Amino acid sequence: MKYLDSSLLPGERVVARARLHPIVYLRAAAVAVVGLALLVASASTDVPAAAGAAVLFVGALLAVPPWIDARTSEFGVTDKRVVIKVGLVRRRTLELLLRQIEAISVEQSVPGRLFNYGTVSLSGTGGVKETFHAIARPLEFRRAIQAQSVSGEGAGLHDAGPASSVRHRVEQDIDSQTVPRQ
């Protein structure tokens, strides 16, 4: 069972989910491409095939930590809270009530804007400030949090009005990670 689903309060529903962007695999993919290039070059030059295979193996090994990070990171918005968990062995969690959120910031570099990933920072009452990197579709994740915050701090998805239509659009925007309505 996922952390987010197992930590729901009675009557609480998940409104939106986010995930890490595949950009976390970039370094491993670059090393693997070099390994493949060496393997191809070994057919027509003096480059030993074992060198290409070794570099390709290193690329595969470099893909393991980001894969674990992607599988063990959860980012969710419920009708009452923002729940975030990252890490497998060393776990870091954030469960912040919507009414305690003071600021949400999104930072995107030029590649981040092109490939739609970025850093999301949440600031809460009491000096809580947490930053999460390489979040896929960070603006939509921020919009989901804001839509729930303006809806009356956990009033649910059945409200009428502009906030409800924004929430409905946000639920559809956060790709396949969105929880279907019940």
State the virtual CA torsion across 139, 140, 146, 148 in degrees, nearest 10.
Answer: -170
Are 45 and 15 in a shared domain? no
Express each pLDDT in 48-101 by its tens digit.
989 999 999 999 999 999 999 999 999 999 999 999 999 988 999 999 999 999
- 11-54 pLDDT tens trace: 999 999 999 999 999 999 999 999 999 999 988 888 898 999 99
Q: Is residue 182 part of a domain?
A: no
Strand bridging mode 74-78 / 81-86: antiparallel
Count of the separate structural domains present in the chain: 2
In terms of domains, do 63 and 81 share one? no
Looking at the fold, whether 40 and 129 belong to one and the same domain comes out as no
Same domain, 101 and 13: yes
Query: The domain that contains 15 carries what CATH number?
Result: 2.30.29.30
Crossing angle between the packed helical segments 162-173 and 138-150, to the nearest 10 degrees: 150
Q: Are residues 135 and 105 in the same domain?
A: yes
Assess whether 50 and 82 both reside in one domain.
no
Residues 13 and 29 in one domain: no
Average pLDDT over the chain reads 85
Report, in this order, helix, strand and coil percent for the chain, each rounded to 5: 50, 25, 25
Per residue in 129-171, pLDDT (tens digit) is 999 999 999 999 999 999 998 875 444 433 334 444 444 444 4
Please give the residue range of the domain that contains residue 46.
24-68
Question: 97 and 133 in one domain?
Answer: yes
Q: What is the pLDDT of residue 165?
A: 44
Same domain (yes/no): 56, 138: no
Q: Tell me, yes or no, whether 150 lies in a domain.
A: yes
Domain final position from 12, 46, 68: 68
